[in-house]
């Protein structure tokens, strides 16, 4: 018998799903995984990208679904890589990002959770965490975790035991969970 769930998490990234599943479990929300490649439009707006991905995900699974899109915005690089973070990570990686930086290492990590159901109107939940980019790549984590140090911390996401409580993804999922649980009342 298949496991029951409240909604699906659509992504090709199992790491994102695993984080989201753990976080939403704290809010008594059961998340299923819909592993799929989603159409990702090229746009300067994370909100537009997330909305389109949520619509695409719902179109594919025909069940209530959430997607997560995020971006690393580095101040000294005028917000680069921003909404192009996945592509930049795949092309130049963390080493490339570190080579681009000078002394100003301030950055924000932004996450958007987009929920879509039969209404075909995505609902968005955005959060950001300010921080800095480390001078060296640290062990552990995935994506930009080995180089992003959240504010008021001296370790990267990759080094923190409680990343899920401090992350941009946690904050967006928390906003979503509160909204979703209130919607059920």
Instruction: Give the pLDDT score at 184.
Output: 75
The pLDDT of 18-26, averaged and rounded, is 95
Residue 160 has pLDDT above 80, yes or no: yes
Segment 135-151, tens digit of pLDDT: 999 999 889 999 999 99
Specify if 2 maps to a domain: no
Residue 185 has pLDDT above 80, yes or no: no
CATH of the domain at 98: 3.90.950.10
Q: 48 near 40, Cβ under 8 Å?
A: no
Segment 74-124, tens digit of pLDDT: 999 999 999 999 999 999 999 999 999 999 999 999 999 999 999 989 999
Pick the catalytic residue from 6, 28, 43, 69.
69
Q: How many domains does the chain have?
A: 1
Q: Which domain holds residue 167?
A: 7-184
Read off the tokens for 79.
């917000």
Query: What pTM was computed for the model?
Result: 0.92
Residue 126 has pLDDT above 90, yes or no: yes
- Whether 69 sits among the annotated catalytic residues: the reply is yes
Specify if 96 maps to a domain: yes
Specify if 1 maps to a domain: no
Specify if 49 maps to a domain: yes
Segment 39-82, tens digit of pLDDT: 989 899 999 999 999 999 999 999 999 999 999 999 999 999 99
Instruction: Give the pLDDT score at 1.
Output: 33
Instruction: Give the pLDDT score at 120.
Output: 85
């Amino acid at each position: 018998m298949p496991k029951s769930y409240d909604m699906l998490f659509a992504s090709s990234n199992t790491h994102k799903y695993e984080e989201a599943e753990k976080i939403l479990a704290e809010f008594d929300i059961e998340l299923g995984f819909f592993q799929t490649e989603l159409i990702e439009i090229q746009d300067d707006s994370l909100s537009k990208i997330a909305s389109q991905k949520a619509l695409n995900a719902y179109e594919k699974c025909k069940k209530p679904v959430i997607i997560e899109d995020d971006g690393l915005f580095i101040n000294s690089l005028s917000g680069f890589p921003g909404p192009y973070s996945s592509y930049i990570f795949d092309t130049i990686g963390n080493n490339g990002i570190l080579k681009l930086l000078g002394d100003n290492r301030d950055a924000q990590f932004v996450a958007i959770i987009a929920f879509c159901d039969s209404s075909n109107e995505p609902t968005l939940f955005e959060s950001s965490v300010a921080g800095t980019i480390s001078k060296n790549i640290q062990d552990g984590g995935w994506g930009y975790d080995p180089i992003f140090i959240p504010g008021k911390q001296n370790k990267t996401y990759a080094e923190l035991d409680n990343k899920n409580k401090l992350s941009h993804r946690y904050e967006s999922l928390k906003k979503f969970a509160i909204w979703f649980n209130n919607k059920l009342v």
